[in-house]
Chains A and B, each alone.
Chain A
Amino acid sequence: MTFRRGQKVEVYQKSQDEMWQSYMDEFVGIHGIVTDPDTNINDPDALVEVSLNGKGTFRLPQDCIRLLEE
């Protein structure tokens, strides 16, 4: 599992995933905290719950977020 609860992340690009919706475009560049990682089977394809600073909490595909620190 790449993402763990409590890790700081950045939305660094738009996702190509079908779950990415147009209102999420404004999330690019926003920092946040992983609040619920992929609870399935450590699936790189699973959606990760991220709380974005000043935006709210969303389930995002993993290809648009990256770790800010370990």
Chain B
Amino acid sequence: MNLDFTAIIPSIPYILKGIGVTLQITIGATIIGFIVGILLALCKIGKITALRWFADIYTSIFRGTPLVLQLMIIYYAVPQLLDIQIDPVPTAIIAFGLNSSAYISEIIRAGINAVDKGQQEAAMALGVPYRKMMKDIIIPQALKNILPSLMNEFITLNKESAVVTVISALDIMRRAYIVGGATYRYLEPLLVAGLIYYIMTLVLTFLGKRIEKGMRKSD
């Protein structure tokens, strides 16, 4: 058995610095994914056919192609087509955000449909306009119901963000790989990276449960 962590111990702080990068990507992408996801969901349940089509096609494309491919396409497309230099981290945030918005929009759509139709009628009967009804009455109830699914999406994103290593963003994964290259020992840093991801998942799951509990105060 040949497993020796001593050579990489000095490099562990370097790997740990990747936590910030990974979280940056995950949080940034979730914010984009959430906002775009709500808009897409509203398009999907709305009455305007063109918007409904757009949202359905969008979802279909982002769910129907590999995430790593979307990431690389955006990474190469932005400088080539728009003539803008873009760093790996913002690229990753955009790519993951757009990708996850497709999934989040489906979660939100289902959540909105699950809210009792009577809520909409009660709001309509009080003269509440559609926009306010959605914002204040329907979506808050939908979000409460889908919070577990959203947390799940967030945690998945946190793990899956490891593929940004292909565009050289210095996240946990990439750093572990670099340490491997420098010390000629790949297994040990990768195990360290695995442990870090796992602990992050546990912490995020715990936080998610706490948030859910907080939102259940009206039950």
**Are A and B bound to each other?**
no
